[in-house]
């Protein structure tokens, strides 16, 4: 069935209170660190103080002998795993690398890399035990910067890493894991046709996802080997699969329970602590709890990749793009697997360009392994391309939105990375920006306005959901995707709409791995689309059953029953004359009409609609301090159908906020020895609430016909345009082009001074 | 297992005895907003913590003769709420107000901010600019020192074993005297000063400066009294030339380092900017204040 007609909807599109709201507001919701068990031990992790070093030996004897210590583990407690690539979450994952990232084997590859862990009867004893572990390191030369890591004489992290994708195959190992390329048309022809060209280089810094909840877990391995894991993650099935692989146990012997999650943004699509706690629990015979502190989160868990972006654009004099070239160098961190692929594919997705050539490099260096972060890869390349589009527009004296309008990809456009678009709403976002009242607001001195666009694929994938009708006519919706942004509310709303009952009579839960069918993790902006599709189908199956039961009670054919507003009606005069039967009445008689009424659906959802966005940003620059104030921000996005508009707005506002942090202040600062100098929120500067205006989220509803309600993923594309939008606004305000992120006050002041030396002081 | 002893004496003498008699490292606890963080992070492992909040007089603000007297354990919220002090030294209140968050304000103190000895402490520059004195109790009795003599370097003070700050004495302001404090941070709150600047000025009836003290934070190992500032301002109204001379004097007083919070060059330039901007506010406040003695309202 389709519910694409918005005017017929009663629940979808409204803004009810979220089912998990009260517990979160009063502080009672159970997050990863809230779980406790009788007899539980406390685990702590010893981390490398070196960016790159060989582990000559680890002596754990003194730690193990400390009273209260029950287990000490190193890499020796884990089975060696063969290299095996899997595509999970939002990026590639190699199981061997994942194991090695969770606990160092032979070498440490970054400051903060775990080398050992202990479990003890109190956190203080565990802490003390860490000091008693003696690790003998041979410190090796290290490399932090992506281009330094690509040099021929750079210290090599992995002596078995040979660049993939180059011909001939290299004979020497290097830090370049992979070279990839995408081509459309003939780039040489494109440059011949181009009447105007522009070539620029941009850089971005790695940024952390900045979730408020640090990683935390409790793991209990029973005497029979049965294992239960409580943890905060973006996917309990992901936790189960990885732990099974890393510890060498059967999946059926692990039950993973999803805790409430205090933010993930992609950073909790992999594991760090669970295998360590599992090994400690197995060794000690007791449940083990490990909670990271903030410093560990910064030193040990994945940021988004930093990058170098070289862009070349060619256009006709009327502004039509004819050629585009892109070179990307992405930091992967200590192991291969940066999101350079999506970076390549997203960069020009908004535009219809006949000749395109894209090359990307995946490069390892002595930093934490990167993890997915909202639209992984896209913000980097888009910062370059969308800044360069602005530079081209200004060079050609074309309005930046008009330049995007005349080059916009439409239904039928073939993208540089292959697909031919259908049902896309990019041009609509540009036109909505052109019509937005924001543009008519006058700017003052030192103020400027910038625009930028963005694209993200969004995915579907495997999801399971069940819908159970309870005896009193309420419904329980069971799903398998952790609720990271209000998805439980959306699931309940879609089920309520299908069942025709009030939202308040549907209770959604996120179930553990033994209580619902397999569900791929929460990522790729897929849950409202894919799991929402499973929930809708489960509710539809229930409606079929409800009609059957009504038909049985009335003794007519099920085809002669209509379902409307939560009641069964005879389909027409020929069906007979009966009083409507409510869901509640049918539920009450379920035992006598064939038993409980419920349905479970497992699907691999196809047809996710891509996300498109155009943003407008106004800034004011304090030219004496270099500080940028965001005055006004409008984010326009094709959202398909906003199931719960408040949570769609929340996703847009959150993504923009993180993008502004990425633009202005967030960066990792390493000292000369490769140690992280700012592992905390004091000196790693995410925006605070008072830094930002209310972000105006404009939702364009261009329904996705492949989803029953028309939903498209909304969570990721909002982080794509902000960096360029801010940079373009700063240029508009100052005439200074900032091509290297972050555009922090010292850098902007230095750039302003370089452009216009200050007058000599009167006193000199 | 690591252990730490805690005591909360009821008199200054008992606190001095506890501090002086401690076998290992002894730390004074007033608000604890720095100390507890350092304990938790493991950066500091004291053997004894002496909580001073139970000593009568340690919390509260009173006027005594020609001075405001601020007890060393007086939290930020009480300082901000004290109207006579706020009227007399709005710059001091601005500095105190900038320490941490609303929650931290319920505990943080000027004494703690001072004795933690960070060059970036926000409450310290305006207190030094007001020519405040610290009353220090110790085994040898009490002594009074200018506040600027307490901090000797990052994390280091001139306090001897057994000594702690009991209270601050801040002279009641003269007619047409006022102050201002500004700090620069990349964000709007919840951050630590890249540069801080307090300006305290006294004007004559024509609006020309008769006395001035300009103090910078986060541009040197300790807070810096800008030597050339008084000279730049005294005898002048706040015209463009005067502002430029003040800017130069402030920049000349800087001896910053390049670290994760800012470069030498950037900090030096911003010190000049903040000096000008804080001076404009202080001059304006002093002029509009007229001849009333601020503390007496």
Range A557-572 burial, b when 16+ CB lie within 10 A, else e: ebebbebeebbbbbbe
Spatial distance between the Cα atoms of A258 and A756, rounded to a whole number of angstroms: 56
Contact B243, A660 (CB under 8 A): no
Q: Which residues of chain A have pLDDT under 70?
A: 87-91, 757-764
In a domain, A700, yes or no: no
- Determine contact: A153 vs chain B, CB below 8 A: no
Spatial distance between the Cα atoms of A475 and A501, rounded to a whole number of angstroms: 9
In a domain, A500, yes or no: yes
pLDDT at B291 over 90: no
3-state secondary structure of A336: coil
Nearest CA to A429 out of A610, A609, A612, A608 is that of: A612
In a domain, A318, yes or no: no
Q: In which domain, by residue range, is A494 found?
A: 6-28+460-605
Angle between helices A378-396 and A400-407 (to 10 degrees): 110
- What is the per-residue pLDDT for B40? 87
A and B: number of Cβ contacts within 8 A: 69
Beta strands per DSSP E along A375-514: 447-456, 461-469, 475-479, 506-510
Nearest CA to A521 out of A122, A234, A107, A323 is that of: A234
In A, minimum Cα distance to B239 occurs at A762
In a domain, A601, yes or no: yes
DSSP string, A224-288: TS-EEEEE--S-HHHHHHHHHHHHT--GGGEEEEEPB-S--TTTTSS-SSHHHHHHHHHHHSS-E
- What is the per-residue pLDDT for A90? 62
Spatial distance between the Cα atoms of A137 and A57, rounded to a whole number of angstroms: 7
CATH assignment of the domain containing A579: 3.30.365.10
Q: In this structure, what are the phi and psi dihedrals at residue B5, rounded to the nearest 5 degrees?
A: -95, 150
- Which helix (H) or strand (E) segment holds residue A404: the answer is helix A400-407
Angle between helices B90-97 and B264-289 (to 10 degrees): 140
pLDDT band at B290 (very low <50, low <70, confident <90, very high): low
Q: Do B186 and A688 make contact, defined as CB atoms within 8 angstroms?
A: no
Contact A149, A174 (CB under 8 A): no
- Determine contact: A764 vs chain B, CB below 8 A: yes
Alpha helices (H) along A306-363: 340-347
Query: Which residues on B lie below 8 Å from A124 (Cβ)?
Result: 1-2
- Determine contact: A316 vs chain B, CB below 8 A: no
- Choose the catalytic residue: A545, A716, A755, A764: A716
pLDDT tens-digit readout, B82-102: 999 999 999 999 999 999 999
Which residues, listed in sequence order, are joined to residue A290 by a DSSP beta bridge?
A43, A217
- Determine contact: B65 vs chain A, CB below 8 A: no
Q: In this structure, what are the phi and psi dihedrals at residue A637, rounded to the nearest 5 degrees?
A: -145, 140
Residue range(s) occupied by CATH 3.30.465.10 in chain B: 61-171
State both tokens at A6: 């918005």
Alpha helices (H) along A274-347: 274-284, 294-300, 340-347
- What is the per-residue pLDDT for A757? 56
Which residues, listed in sequence order, are joined to residue A564 by a DSSP beta bridge?
A567
Spatial distance between the Cα atoms of B239 and B207, rounded to a whole number of angstroms: 11
Annotation says A716 is catalytic: yes
The shortest CB-CB distance from B263 to any of A124, A682, A746 is to: A746
The residue behind tokens 């050539």 is A357
* End-to-end CA gap in chain B: 55
Q: In this structure, what are the phi and psi dihedrals at residue A611, rounded to the nearest 5 degrees?
A: -100, 135
Spatial distance between the Cα atoms of A724 and A738, rounded to a whole number of angstroms: 9
- What is the per-residue pLDDT for B289? 80
- Determine contact: A704 vs chain B, CB below 8 A: no
Q: How far is CA A87 from CA A90, A209, A271, B141, B172, in A?
A: 8, 21, 15, 72, 71
Domain B5-51, what architecture?
Answer: 2-Layer Sandwich (3.30)
Domain B61-171: which CATH number of 3.40.50.300, 3.30.465.10, 3.40.50.11540, 3.30.1360.100: 3.30.465.10
Residues 6+ apart with CB under 8 A from A148: A154, A365
Q: Do B248 and A124 make contact, defined as CB atoms within 8 angstroms?
A: no
Q: Do A625 and B270 make contact, defined as CB atoms within 8 angstroms?
A: yes
Q: Do B191 and A685 make contact, defined as CB atoms within 8 angstroms?
A: yes
- What is the per-residue pLDDT for A764? 38
> Topology of domain B177-288, per CATH?
Enolase-like; domain 1 (3.30.390)
Q: Do B266 and A678 make contact, defined as CB atoms within 8 angstroms?
A: no
Chain A contact probe: residue of B239, B253, B260 with most A CBs at under 10 A: B260
In A, minimum Cα distance to B1 occurs at A125
3-state secondary structure of A474: coil
Quote the number of domains for chain A. 1
- Determine contact: A126 vs chain B, CB below 8 A: no
Chain B contact probe: residue of A132, A621, A625, A753 with most B CBs at under 10 A: A625
- Determine contact: B205 vs chain A, CB below 8 A: no
- What is the per-residue pLDDT for A761? 45
Report ipTM (2 d.p.): 0.93
In A, minimum Cα distance to B183 occurs at A625
Any idea what DSSP says for residue A560?
G
Spatial distance between the Cα atoms of A42 and A78, rounded to a whole number of angstroms: 20
In the sheet with B141-146, reading across from the earlier edge strand, the strands are B61-64, B67-71, B164-171, B133-138, B141-146
Residue range(s) occupied by CATH 3.30.390.50 in chain B: 177-288
3-state secondary structure of B187: coil
Nearest CA to B27 out of B221, B169, B157, B167 is that of: B157
Q: How far is CA A618 from CA A426, A499, A726, in A?
A: 22, 45, 8
Q: What is the mean pLDDT of residues B46-50?
A: 97
Spatial distance between the Cα atoms of A297 and A5, rounded to a whole number of angstroms: 45
- Determine contact: A123 vs chain B, CB below 8 A: no
3-state secondary structure of A499: helix
In a domain, A661, yes or no: no
Q: How far is CA A666 from CA A440, A679, A681, B145, in A?
A: 31, 12, 10, 42
Q: How many CB atoms lie within 10 A of CB A650?
A: 16
Q: Is the dihedral of CA A327, A331, A336, A338 positive or negative?
A: negative
Spatial distance between the Cα atoms of A540 and A563, rounded to a whole number of angstroms: 10
State both tokens at B10: 């009821």
pLDDT tens-digit readout, B16-37: 999 999 999 999 999 999 999 9
């Amino acid at each position: 069935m389709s519910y694409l007609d918005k005017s017929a909807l009663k629940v979808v599109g409204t803004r009810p209170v979220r089912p998990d709201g009260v517990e979160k507001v009063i502080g009672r919701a159970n997050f990863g660190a809230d779980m406790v068990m009788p007899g539980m031990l406390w685990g702590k992790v010893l981390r490398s103080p070196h960016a790159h070093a060989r582990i000559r030996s680890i002596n754990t004897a003194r730690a193990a002998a400390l009273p209260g210590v029950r287990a000490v583990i190193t890499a020796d407690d884990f089975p060696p795993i063969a290299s095996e690539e899997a595509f999970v979450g939002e990026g590639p994952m190699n199981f061997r690398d994942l194991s090695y990232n969770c606990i160092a084997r032979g070498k440490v590859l970054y400051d903060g890399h775990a080398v050992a862990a202990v479990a003890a009867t109190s956190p203080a004893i565990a802490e003390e035990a860490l000091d008693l572990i003696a690790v003998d390191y041979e410190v090796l030369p290290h490399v932090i910067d992506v281009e330094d890591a690509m040099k021929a004489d750079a210290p090599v992290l992995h002596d078995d890493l040979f660049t993939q994708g180059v011909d001939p195959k290299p004979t020497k190992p290097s830090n370049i894991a992979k070279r990839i390329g995408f081509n459309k048309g003939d780039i040489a022809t494109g440059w011949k046709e181009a009447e105007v060209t522009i070539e620029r280089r941009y850089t971005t810094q790695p940024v952390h996802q900045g979730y408020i909840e640090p990683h935390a877990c409790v793991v209990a391995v029973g005497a029979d080997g049965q294992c239960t894991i409580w943890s905060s993650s973006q996917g309990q099935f992901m936790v189960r699969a990885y732990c099974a692989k890393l510890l060498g146990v059967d999946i059926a012997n692990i039950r993973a329970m999803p805790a409430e999650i205090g933010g993930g943004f992609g950073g909790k699509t992999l594991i760090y602590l669970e295998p360590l706690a599992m090994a400690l629990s197995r060794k000690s015979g007791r449940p083990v709890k490990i909670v990271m502190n903030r410093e560990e989160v910064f030193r040990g868990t994945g940021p988004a990749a930093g990058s170098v972006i070289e862009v070349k654009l060619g256009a006709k004099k009327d502004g039509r793009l004819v050629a585009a070239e892109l070179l990307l160098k992405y930091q992967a961190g200590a192991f291969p697997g940066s999101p350079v692929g999506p970076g390549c594919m997203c960069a020009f997705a908004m535009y219809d360009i006949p000749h395109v050539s894209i090359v990307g490099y995946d490069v390892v260096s002595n930093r934490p392994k990167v993890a997915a972060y909202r639209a992984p890869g896209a913000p980097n390349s888009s910062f370059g391309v969308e800044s360069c589009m602005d530079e081209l527009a200004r060079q050609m004296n074309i309005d930046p939105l008009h330049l995007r309008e005349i080059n916009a990809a439409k239904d039928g456009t073939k993208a540089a990375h292959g697909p031919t678009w259908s049902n896309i709403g990019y041009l609509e976002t540009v036109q909505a920006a052109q019509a937005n009242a924001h543009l008519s607001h006058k700017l003052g001195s030192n103020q400027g306005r910038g625009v930028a666009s963005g694209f993200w694929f969004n995915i579907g994938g495997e999801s399971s959901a069940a819908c159970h009708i309870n005896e009193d006519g309420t419904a329980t919706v069971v799903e398998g995707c952790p609720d990271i942004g209000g998805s439980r509310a959306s699931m309940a709303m879609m089920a309520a709409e299908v069942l025709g009952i009030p939202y308040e009579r549907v209770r959604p839960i996120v179930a553990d791995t033994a209580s619902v069918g397999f569900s791929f993790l929460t990522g790729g902006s897929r849950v409202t689309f894919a799991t929402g599709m499973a929930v809708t189908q489960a509710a539809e199956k229930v409606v079929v059953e409800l009609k059957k039961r009504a038909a049985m009670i009335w003794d007519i054919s099920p085809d002669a029953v209509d379902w409307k507003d939560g009641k069964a009606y005879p389909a027409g005069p020929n069906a007979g004359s009966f009083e409507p039967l409510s869901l509640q009445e049918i539920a009450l008689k379920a035992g006598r009409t064939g038993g409980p009424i419920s349905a479970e659906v497992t699907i691999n959802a196809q047809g996710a609609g891509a996300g498109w966005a155009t943003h407008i940003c106004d800034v004011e620059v304090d030219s004496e301090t270099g500080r940028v104030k965001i005055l006004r921000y409008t984010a326009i996005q094709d959202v398909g159908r906003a199931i719960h508009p408040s949570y769609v707005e929340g996703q847009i506002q959150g993504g923009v906020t993180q993008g502004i942090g990425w633009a202005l202040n967030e960066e990792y600062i390493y000292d000369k020895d490769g140690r992280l100098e700012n592992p905390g929120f004091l000196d790693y500067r995410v925006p605070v609430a008072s830094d930002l205006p209310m972000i105006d989220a404009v939702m364009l509803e261009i329904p996705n016909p492949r989803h029953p309600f028309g939903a498209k993923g909304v969570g990721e594309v909002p982080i794509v345009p902000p960096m360029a939008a801010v940079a373009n606004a700063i240029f508009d305000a100052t005439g200074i082009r900032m091509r290297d992120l972050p555009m922090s006050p010292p850098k902007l002041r230095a750039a302003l001074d370089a452009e216009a030396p200050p007058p000599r002081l009167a006193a000199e | 297992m690591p252990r730490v002893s805690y005591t909360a004496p009821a008199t200054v003498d008992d606190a001095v005895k506890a501090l002086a008699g401690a076998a290992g490292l002894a730390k004074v606890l007033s608000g604890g907003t720095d100390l507890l963080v350092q304990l938790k992070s493991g950066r500091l492992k004291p053997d004894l913590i002496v909580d001073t909040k139970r000593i009568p007089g340690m919390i509260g603000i009173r006027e005594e003769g020609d001075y405001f007297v601020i007890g060393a354990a007086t939290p930020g919220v009480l300082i901000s709420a004290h109207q006579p002090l706020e009227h007399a030294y709005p710059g001091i209140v601005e500095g105190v107000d900038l320490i941490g968050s609303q929650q931290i304000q319920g505990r943080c103190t000027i004494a703690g901010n001072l004795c933690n000895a960070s060059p970036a402490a926000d409450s310290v520059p305006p207190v030094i600019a007001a020519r405040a004195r610290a009353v220090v109790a110790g085994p040898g009795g009490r002594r009074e020192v200018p506040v600027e003599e307490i901090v000797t370097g990052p994390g280091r003070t001139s306090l001897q074993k057994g000594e702690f700050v009991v209270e601050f004495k801040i002279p009641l302001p003269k007619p047409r005297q006022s102050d201002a404090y500004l700090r620069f941070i990349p964000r709007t709150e919840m951050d630590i000063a890249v540069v801080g600047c307090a300006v305290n000025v006294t004007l004559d009836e024509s609006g020309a400066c008769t006395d001035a003290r300009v103090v910078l934070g986060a541009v040197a190992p300790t807070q810096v009294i800008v030597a050339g500032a008084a000279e730049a301002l005294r005898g002048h109204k706040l015209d463009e030339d005067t502002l430029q001379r003040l800017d130069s004097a402030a920049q000349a007083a800087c001896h910053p380092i390049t670290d994760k919070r800012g470069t030498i060059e950037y900090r030096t330039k911003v010190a000049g900017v903040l000096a000008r901007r804080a001076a404009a506010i202080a001059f304006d406040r002093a002029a509009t204040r007229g001849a009333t003695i601020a503390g007496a309202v």
